[in-house]
Homo-oligomer: A and B are copies of this chain.
């Protein structure tokens, strides 16, 4: 009877839920990582019996986690944004505080963007320089071949 109940619960949620394995495959992370992020308060899937079930909201958060990590944020920084976002529907003092945090995050991201543009600039300079060297190399090789075939 318990098992029947569980099955119907699962069916009632079907279509917008994922197992831990599905998410792990989709985003190419280990299930261990997903559970770890839950431990750290970044995810809160519902439970069907002992199993975790992830809904759209959890999936969205997973995306945010991965993006945050790619941008070099720590897990606790990422969690902080979640917590703030959840709390930001309260009184004006909370809202003001949240606005301040958002501005700080923005400054951080803007700085990162500048770093990124600088890095991309330097990269394309290196690229051009490298191609130039390569052209010179190939010219030399060509002329060597000619002198060989002419000799």
Kindly report how many copies of this chain are found in the complex they form together.
2
**C-alpha gap A98/B25 in the complex (Å):** 32
Q: How far is the CB of A114 from chain B (nearest CB, A)?
A: 9
- For A87-102 the 0/1 string (1 means CB < 8 A from B) is 0110110011011001
Q: Is chain A's binding surface mostly helix, strand, loop or mixed?
A: helix
Residue of A115, A119, A134, A138 with most chain B CB atoms under a 10 A cut-off: A119
**C-alpha gap A71/B141 in the complex (Å):** 40
- A residues sitting closer than 8 Å to B (CB atoms) are 67-72, 85, 88-89, 91-92, 95-96, 98-99, 102-103, 105-106, 109-113, 115-116, 118-120, 123-124, 126-127, 130-131, 133-134, 137-138, 141
Q: Is the CB of A106 within 8 A of B92?
A: no
